[in-house]
Amino acid sequence: MLRSEILARFDSLGILPTSQRLEIAAILLEKAQHLSVEQVLTRLRAKDSTVSKATVYNSLNLFGKKGLIKECLVDPERRYYDSTTSPHHHFFNSDTGELSDIASECIEVSGLPDLPKGTQLESAELIIRVRNVAD
């Protein structure tokens, strides 16, 4: 995504465009992908960036809250940031730690139980866990 496009999205979502936030967003929004804080940090370091881990964490958190990206919590120790914000499902490979997308129309969720009183359905997104087959 071009810097001008990122600036336009920051503007429409009410995100203050600091140079560090722009650096972080440029990495995540480069293509459809899922990255952890550590992976974003590694890519920043490869570009000789001095952005701190705390800033990366805080910025990704803010981007998630504002809807620029989507948080995908696989388990309490594995949080990924997804550049695709529309509803979709995931495969999670527990051997490689890799998340991959499944288009929402590929899975039909049926037989949902009655929702708790006073609630409405917001989304039903699945994480299907897979592991490598031994050779």
Query: What is the binding site for Zn ion (CB under 5 A)?
Result: 82, 84, 101
| Residue 129, φ and ψ in degrees, nearest 5 | -90, 130
Q: How far is the CB of 11 from Zn ion (least distance, A)?
A: 25
Shortest reach from residue 80's CB to Zn ion, in Å: 8
Tell me the C-alpha distance between 40 and 114, whole Å: 40
- Give the helix/strand (H/E) hosting 35: strand 34-35
Cβ neighbour number for residue 16 with a 10 Å cutoff? 8
Nearer to Zn ion, 74 or 101 (CB): 101
Distance from the Cα of residue 121 to its chain's centroid:
21
Q: Report the C-alpha gap between 15 and 8 in whole angstroms.
A: 10
- Residue that the structure tokens 């309490």 belong to: 76
Q: Which is nearer to Zn ion, 43 or 51 (CB)?
A: 43
Nearest approach, Cβ of 113 to Zn ion (angstroms)?
A: 26
Please provide the DSSP assignment of 52-72 as one string: -HHHHHHHHHHHHHHTSSEEE
Shortest Å, Cβ 82 to Zn ion:
4
Between 50 and 123, CB nearer to Zn ion? 123
Measured from the CB atom, is 11 or 38 closer to Zn ion?
Answer: 38
> Cβ of residue 88: shortest distance to Zn ion, in angstroms?
6
For residues 23 and 82, which CB has a smaller minimum distance to Zn ion in the complex?
82
